[in-house]
Amino acid sequence: MFIDNFRLRFYILFMESIQQLRSQFQQELLSISTLTQHEEISIKYLGRSGSINTLLKTIKDVPLEQKKEFGATVNGLKKEIEHALEEKKQQVLSQTEDAQYTDVTLPGTPYARGSVHLVTIAIEEISRVFSKLGFNRMSYPEIEWEQYSFENLNMPPEHPARDDFETFFVDHQPSDVFGKMILSPHTSSGQTREMQRVQKPPIRMINLAKCYRPNWDASHVPMFHQFEGLCVDTGITISHLKGTIDYFAKEFFGANRKTRIRPFHFQFTEPSFEVDVSCGVCDGTGIIDGTKCKICKSGWLELGGAGMVHPNVLKAGGIDSDVYSGWAFGFGIERTFMMKEGLNLDDIRVLYSGDVRFLEQF
């Protein structure tokens, strides 16, 4: 009687725990959606110290007559679990073949290779041309004082010429000496900085830097680049300026390109000029196949401003204007590069849009 009772109790407990394990497994089986989860659950049930083995180890406590049945039931559950897991594995594999199953022997996906931005290409090429002429490559501050951008360039406070260089002001305590802090609107601010740095001519500088003006339309971006040439020495004349610009045009654009200078006005140069380079698309004629050249319309493309350094600028830089003279020019890097490539962009903002389809062409 005692034995029978004991057997019965054992049997009930045993069947309950088998049933519990089965339903727990079935629930967890449903939650499997990746191979990693599949592996975790396989280990949990079928691993060396998984639920099935733990259960099998209790066989030593099972009454002798029931050992056989116990073993058969547990092994039956084991087979059931193995079978269900195998089926699940196939299902997971077929659903998430690419995402989950990586064949490590396949060649990897190559990284997309970037290229240098066209403004960087232009900066390197421009620097190369001027380094052959012995010019110092500088990069004067983007955040500048009014003093260097205006006063030192013969544009006192309230002078209307400042309007030509619309300016971003930096929210910073103004200086008693240098005025307000601004984002440099042109690279000409580097002129008196270089004069103060070198102190005694000769000076040959090429300043390539970022400039800022608050314009945003198809032909303007608020951040752009300029390169500024400055040459100061004894006996420097306009012909040195023209010769240098010619040399640059032939080296940078090609041997067949010409330049011209036209009278203009800048506060910081006297006399002042605008500089043009002959169009490379129509070869300076302004006409292609009997119609107006779409790139230049006239045979010439405008490079930028230039002139002989104003005596007041030399003075502001600490240079004796009775002994020394000099020339300066300032051209836009983006514009210059577009002229080289014969590019006629409808909207120059594409330069900074980060669109690789545009950028990877250069």
Tell me the sheet residues that pair with 224: 211
Per-residue buried b or exposed e for 104-134, using 16+ beta carbons within 10 Å of the residue's own CB = eeeeeeeeeeeeeebbeebbebbeebbeeee
Q: Which is nearer to ligand PHE, 261 or 282 (CB)?
A: 261
> Among residues 52, 77, 313, 328, which is the contact residue for ligand PHE, using CB under 6 A?
328
What values do phi and psi take at 257, rounded to 5?
Answer: -85, 145
Dihedral angle sign, alpha carbons of residues 343, 348, 350, 351: positive
Q: For the CB of residue 228, give the shortest distance to ligand PHE in the complex, in Å.
A: 6
Point out which span in 30-38, 96-104, 231-239, 298-306 binds ligand PHE (CB under 6 A).
298-306
Stretch that binds ligand PHE, among 12-20, 115-123, 323-331, 337-345 (CB under 6 A): 323-331
Cis peptide before 202 (omega within 30 of 0): yes
Taking CB under 6 A as the binding criterion, the range among 5-13, 234-242, 277-285, 324-332 that sits at the site for ligand PHE is 324-332
Size of site (CB under 6 A) for ligand PHE:
12
Task: Report, in Å, the least distance between residue 146 CB and ligand PHE.
Answer: 15
In this chain, which of 122, 306, 316, 333 binds ligand PHE, going by CB under 6 A?
Answer: 306
Q: Given candidates 190, 280, 299, 307, which one binds ligand PHE under the rule CB under 6 A?
A: 307
CA distance 253 to 260: 14
Q: Nearer Cβ to ligand PHE, position 14 or 337?
A: 337
Handedness of CA 331, 273, 244, 197 (dihedral sign): negative
Q: For the residues of 131-183, what is the DSSP string, one character each?
A: HHTTPEEE---SEEEHHHHTGGGT--TT-GGGGGG--EEPSSPPBTTTB-EEE
* Residues 147, 109 contacting (CB under 8 angstroms): no
Q: How many residues does the chain have?
A: 362
Residue 325 CA neighbour count, 13 Å, CB half: 12
Q: Which is nearer to ligand PHE, 92 or 245 (CB)?
A: 245
Instruction: Kindly state the smallest distance separating residue 297's Cβ from ligand PHE, in Å.
Output: 21
Min separation Cβ 212 and ligand PHE, Å: 12
Q: CA 180, 183, 188 angle in degrees (round to 5)?
A: 95
Q: Are the beta carbons of 294 and 344 closer than 8 angstroms?
A: yes
* Structure-block tokens of residue 66: 């029931």
Q: Which two tokens stand for residue 99?
A: 């995402």
Site for ligand PHE in 223-252 (CB under 6 A): 228
Shortest spacing between CB 246 and ligand PHE, in angstroms:
17
- Taking Cα atoms as reference points, which of 185, 188, 180, 181 lies closest to residue 211? 185
Of 192, 244, 269, 325, the one binding ligand PHE (CB under 6 A) is 269
In this complex, which beta carbon is closest to ligand PHE, that of residue 335 or of residue 340?
A: 335
| Least spacing, CB of residue 330 vs ligand PHE, in Å | 3
Nearest distance, CB of residue 256 and ligand PHE, angstroms: 26
Tell me: does residue 305 bind ligand PHE (CB under 6 A).
yes
Min dist. Cβ of residue 188 to ligand PHE (A): 4
Q: Can you tell me which of 180, 186, 204, 340 binds ligand PHE, judged by CB under 6 A?
A: 186
266 touches ligand PHE (CB under 6 A) = yes
Using CB under 6 A as the binding rule, whether residue 317 contacts ligand PHE is answered as no
- Site membership for ligand PHE, residue 304 (CB under 6 A): yes
Cβ closest to ligand PHE, residue 25 vs residue 224: 224
β-bridge mates for residue 220, sequence order: 217
3-class DSSP assignment, residue 265: strand
Rank residues 166 and 347 by Cβ distance to ligand PHE and give the closer one: 166
Contact residues: ligand PHE, CB under 6 A: 186, 188, 228, 266, 269, 304-307, 328-330
